[in-house]
Amino acid sequence: MEINEFVKNFANQFDETDASEFTPATDFRQLDEWSSLIALSVIAMIDEEYDVVIKGDDVKSSKTIQDLFEIVKSRKKS
Nearer to other proteins, 23 or 56 (CB): 56
Q: How far apart are CA 64 and CA 54, in angstroms?
A: 15
Which span sits near other proteins by CB under 8 A: 4-12, 17-25, 55-63, 68-76? 55-63
- Between the CA of residue 65 and those of 15, 19, what are the distances in Å? 17, 13
Q: How far is the CB of 22 from other proteins (least distance, A)?
A: 19
Nearer to other proteins, 73 or 75 (CB): 75
Question: Which x/- pattern, by CB under 8 A, does the window 10-49 give for other proteins?
Answer: -----x--------------------xx-xxx-xx--xx-
Residues 54, 76: contact at Cβ < 8 Å?
no
Q: Phi/psi zone of residue 24: left (φ > 0), alpha (ψ -120 to 50 degrees), beta?
A: alpha
